[in-house]
Amino acid sequence: MSDRVYLRPTGFVDAPFGHDGKVARLAGTLQWFALVEIVREDGAELVPVAEIEARLDGLGEAARAAWANITAPRAPLKLGERVIRLDQPQVAGIVNVTPDSFSGDGLAGDIDAAVAAGQAMAAAGAALIDVGGESTRPGSQAVWEGDEVARVEPVVRRLAAAGTAVSVDTRKAPVMEAALAAGAGLVNDVSALTWDPRAIEVVARAGCPVVLMHHKGDPATMQNDPRYDRPVCLEIYDWLAARIDAAVAAGIARDRIIVDPGFGFGKTVQHNLQIMNGLALFHGLGCPIMLGASRKRTIGALAGEVPAGERLPGSLAFALKAAEQGAQLIRVHDVPETIQALRVWRGLRDAGLTPA
């Protein structure tokens, strides 16, 4: 059992006014918190923010670094000429150019429809359009890189040419190279740059932002009774920390790294719910957080096994839970509905942060 200490911000408050020294701002976002959960393998304790500095000396360097990360703002993402601020939750719209997407929205073979879908999402308020040409749903098989390039490159090129911020959802170096050359400004890799040995070099050379996502196993088998030897959030945290270190060692700037706990990728329903409840823990890594829970099976499992196309209410619940915990990027299929929900959430935050 590890004796390492982790910090999770909690006890969120509407505003900092009148609470000098008793609350802290979460990663430069619109969220303020009054409590810190000091988490160990064998338990946890709640400590007021006012007392955390006095406790850090006895918690070790990792805890002190995590506290500095939790309270430091995140730099905006730069995707070519586009800049995405991370002081509030931003939406990444999903465009699946695949024939076998789990969500039933695959647009393989129809470039015009895929481009139109991405443009509509951007017009609705998505800060980023995430284009993918390979399904990584549970049980899926790898797609030949040539087919994947043929699916995503023309969509990325046309969206980028129209001024849209675009990311490419792929784990293959040749697909990354083709998409980046076509105008993509970010790489979103569900394998955290582990599947293709060249991927980390491609991202480092491009100097673009990258999403490192936790996964357990290959998509073909990852949902075959996934198990964790330690509390799931702590195991994911340490795994992501190691992947951040590997990326930085390869020449990728730390302020261009985004982390994703990998909701649904080698996790049971209970694992996914633990991730959602503990999401704020991952701010201790010092990177922006992306959360992709839209339409996923956990929603169906909690809501009478409704099919993927009927999981919008559950998707919105997870999106708002992520925003509440300071997640900077929320990856969704249903962009207009999520934007509306977040605008109402933002209105509540603005009201709370406006002195009476």
- Residues 208 and 184: their CA atoms lie apart, in Å, by 9
Residues of 178-207 as b/e, b for ≥16 C-beta within 10 angstroms? bbbebbbbbbbbbbbbebbeebbbbbbebe
DSSP string computed for 173-205: HHHHHHHHHHT--EEEETTSS-SSTTHHHHHHH
Task: Give catalytic residues, as residue numbers.
Answer: 296, 331
Distance of alpha carbon 179 from the chain centroid: 20
Q: Which residues are CB-contacts of 51 (< 8 A; sequence separation ≥ 6)?
A: none
Whether the Cβ atoms of residue 78 and residue 127 lie closer than 8 Å to each other = no
- Residues 194 and 297: their CA atoms lie apart, in Å, by 25
- Structure-token pair, residue 150: 């043929």
